[in-house]
Amino acid sequence: MPEGLLAPPTRDRLHAAANAADTRILSYAARARALDFYLTNPSGRARPNRRWKVDLDALAFDPLASDAPKNEVAFSGSLGRAIALPLATAAREHPETLAQIARRIDIERLKFGALALGLSSLGALVHVPADYDVAEPIVITYSIDASPAFPRTLVFLEPGARATIIVEFRNRSGAFVAGTSELIVDERAHLQYATTQHVDSGSVAVETALAQVGRDASIALASADFGDGLIVRDRESSLDAAGARMEQSAIFLPTGDGHLDVAATVRHAAANTFSQTVVKAAAGERAIARFLGNIVILPHAAGSEASLRDDALILGPKAHIDSVPALEIACNDVKAYHGATIGAIDDEQIFYLRSRGLDETEARRTIALGFFEPVVDAFPTAALRESLTHRIVETLR
Amino acid sequence: MSETMGLRVAGLRATVENTEILRGIDLVVEPGKIHALMGPNGSGKSTLALSLAGHPHYQVTAGSATLDGTSLLDLSPEKRARAGLFLSFQYPAAIPGVKVANFLHAARQAVRPGSLAPAAFRAMLVEKMDILGMDPSFMGRYLNDGFSGGEKKRLEMLQMAMLAPKYAILDETDSGLDVDALRAVGDSIAALRASEEGRQAGMLIITHYPRILKHVTPDVVHVMMDGRIVLTGGHDLAERIEREGYDGIRDEVGARA
């Protein structure tokens, strides 16, 4: 928990914080409504028991310290005709774009989405016009010095647009960060969206992500989470029109007393939609990782295909990984696959590498790196892949 | 030749899960010589190979094993490899996500540090793969992951060629191979022995069937039964096994004992 706070914030404190937030982005009334939703609705993951130490419905933070001006968002990459702006600037210069996103992405219906909506003054908007291809990746960097922070990342790709977006967080130690990703990928557009996060002990990072994918459009989501703090992700992708595609890849590598809790839902809401989920989780020391993978195929989604692959590697005797897949299929003419493996590093693999001159530590590291390799490959840019590999190596050291 | 040179095994006893499998093995593989170790299933051939390589499931209870004077039994598996011992596995482990090229480079660096510049390493790799009839696409595949039996054995031979050990133990490298793959294994051994690094390599070829010995001519043939070497001879011993099987030898040895 962040220092000095043991209890979740009261309604009065939340409303006082909403009042102090940037009402150019969202009116006070809308903020207050969102916060009431946050207070009265469960996250769906509040079954505390001995294993799940964290009750997500009772997270403690001080809302009145929210979004201090010390927190910043910066952009890099050549934009061409695309727009990338801090949310406050976007609210002033492009209010119609924000309104359009708000009409289509209902982030408020998810508990932590509502929290971010209610308290956020920090964020980013990326808007790519129709049929425009942003050749270079756009890197969004959040520097979080003041806690708590509620960064919202809004992305709107018009029909036929293409972009790669990398979101990086530089959070100060002990920070409480609850942000959103609100993504619209219109017909024929393609978005690659990658996030990496390292959360240290005592820090909390929560992400609520909603993606809407249009006809013959595609989205590729990649996330990599490290550290010994608490990371919660709640991601939902809606394949709303025929031919929509989604690929998501995730790396989980919690260490120490780290706790990672990720729910990823894919909704196949139209015919001939395609989704593929690949998760590679490894937990060391006393770390806990939980992955809830939901595939929902609605009645009119004939010809759709969904696959869910989830592999877990236990690196410490007290580490724990739970993988909970769920397939909810209401249509006959579909293909859905699910596969999961869980285990420790095999002694025969270690011996094989040692017999080739690698010492035991190097052998374990090689095997663990290999375990993550296919998912590292799903990240954009060679530099990012290299830094991920480096981080995996450092974590396994 | 010095008294200490060679892969020298004396009075070696080993157990697996408290069952004694090796019951006093004496064997000397001299530098540059090829020994064949033959014997029926369950005679302890693989146990000998894995015990020498340092597999943690095998407990050596008595005897000694030295490599050019260095005692192997006190060394970790990786130090045995660095001392110049190579084991071609009967069942190589698959390691998904680890590319063959990267692994070979890491292994070469571990066993012979700093001995090859990257360009020279690549040139050597291309040459050795050509000898083994391996497609260049092998390099980008994951180590033994989804490999056929023949592909795994070729990769073991490629590793042997790239690591250029002082002594190599080939544990049933020939089993499950078709004629072409068998020939490739033979060619690979010949190429290693023709190379600067491998000219003095000693080999212990463990096999169930004599057919690999048509491609590699051993200097010495041993027959192992019930955890002991019961007969040692020249190449003609392998031919005799092909004609008579192991039963004749068992009768002879049994009669002698």
Examine residue A201 and state whether it is found in any structural domain, yes or no. Answer: no
Q: Half-sphere exposure of residue A225, counting CA atoms within 13 Å on the CB side?
A: 32
Percentage above 90 pLDDT, chain B: 69
Examine residue B162 and state whether it is found in any structural domain, yes or no. Answer: yes
Q: Nearest-CA residue of chain A relative to B160?
A: A356
Examine residue A196 and state whether it is found in any structural domain, yes or no. Answer: no
By residue range, what is the domain housing residue A313? 214-397
Examine residue A286 and state whether it is found in any structural domain, yes or no. Answer: yes
Instruction: Name the pLDDT band for B1 (thresholds 50, 70, 90).
Output: low
Query: A359 in contact with B at a CB cutoff of 8 Å?
Result: yes
pLDDT of A47 over the 70 cut: no
CB B1 within 8 A of CB B30: yes
CA–CA separation, B182 and B157 (whole Å): 11
Residues in chain A with CB shorter than 8 Å from the CB of B55 are 351
Examine residue B1 and state whether it is found in any structural domain, yes or no. Answer: no
CA distances from A358 to A151, A362, B77, B115 (A): 44, 6, 9, 16
Examine residue A187 and state whether it is found in any structural domain, yes or no. Answer: no
Q: Please, which residues have CB within 8 angstroms of residue A260's CB and are 6 or more apart in sequence? A: A225, A230, A231, A232, A252, A254, A281, A283, A287, A288, A289, A290
Examine residue A203 and state whether it is found in any structural domain, yes or no. Answer: no
Instruction: Name the pLDDT band for A42 (thresholds 50, 70, 90).
Output: confident
Examine residue B112 and state whether it is found in any structural domain, yes or no. Answer: yes
Tell me how many degrees the CA angle A58-A64-A67 measures, rounded to the nearest 5: 100
Whether residue A13 is found in the same domain as residue A144: yes
CA–CA separation, A380 and A136 (whole Å): 11
Q: Please, which residues have CB within 8 angstroms of residue A389's CB and are 6 or more apart in sequence? A: A369, A376
Examine residue B156 and state whether it is found in any structural domain, yes or no. Answer: yes
Q: In 3-state terms, what secondary structure has residue B109? A: helix
What's the burial of B136, exposed, middle or buried (CB within 10 Å: 0-12/13-18/19+)? exposed
pLDDT of B128 over the 80 cut: yes
Q: Please, which residues have CB within 8 angstroms of residue A93's CB and are 6 or more apart in sequence? A: A85
**Mean predicted confidence (pLDDT) in A309-319:** 90
Examine residue A183 and state whether it is found in any structural domain, yes or no. Answer: no
Examine residue B2 and state whether it is found in any structural domain, yes or no. Answer: no
Examine residue A69 and state whether it is found in any structural domain, yes or no. Answer: yes
Whether residue A225 is found in the same domain as residue A148: no
Task: State which amino acid sits at residue A101.
Answer: I
State the complex-level ipTM: 0.96
By residue range, what is the domain housing residue B137? 7-256
CA distances from A32 to A13, A19, A97, A111 (A): 11, 8, 22, 14
Looking at A123, A157, A174, the residue that finishes a domain is A174
Six-digit token string for B94: 């698959």
The CATH number given to whatever domain includes residue B103 is 3.40.50.300
Examine residue A380 and state whether it is found in any structural domain, yes or no. Answer: yes
Looking at A115, A146, A174, the residue that finishes a domain is A174
Between helix B149-163 and helix B179-194 the angle, nearest 10°, is 0
CB A357 to CB B103 under 8 A?
no
Whether residue A166 is found in the same domain as residue A22: yes
Whether residue A31 is found in the same domain as residue A109: yes
- Which residue blocks in A317-359 are alpha helix, DSSP H? 347-354
CB B35 within 8 A of CB B222: yes
Query: B92 in contact with A at a CB cutoff of 8 Å?
Result: yes
Instruction: Name the pLDDT band for A2 (thresholds 50, 70, 90).
Output: very low
Instruction: Name the pLDDT band for B178 (thresholds 50, 70, 90).
Output: confident
Whether residue A233 is found in the same domain as residue A152: no
Looking at A112, A143, A174, the residue that finishes a domain is A174
pLDDT of A90 over the 50 cut: yes
Q: How many domains does chain A have?
A: 2
Six-digit token string for B109: 């660096």
What pLDDT sits at residue A4?
Answer: 45
**Mean predicted confidence (pLDDT) in A244-269:** 94
What pLDDT sits at residue A3?
Answer: 44
Round the CA-based radius of gyration of chain A to a whole number and report it: 21
Tell me how many degrees the CA angle B50-B51-B52 measures, rounded to the nearest 5: 90
pLDDT of B177 over the 50 cut: yes
Residue B81: enclosing H or E segment and its boundaries?
A: helix B77-83
CB A370 to CB B53 under 8 A?
no
Contacting B residues, span 94-133, partner chain A, CB-CB under 8 Å: 94-99, 103, 106-107, 110-111
**Mean predicted confidence (pLDDT) in B57-61:** 96
Whether residue A243 is found in the same domain as residue A360: yes
Q: How far is CA A208 from the centre of its chain?
A: 7
**Which residues are bridge partners to A309 per DSSP?**
A278, A339
pLDDT of A1 over the 70 cut: no
Residues in chain A with CB shorter than 8 Å from the CB of B56 are 347, 351
Instruction: Name the pLDDT band for B198 (thresholds 50, 70, 90).
Output: confident
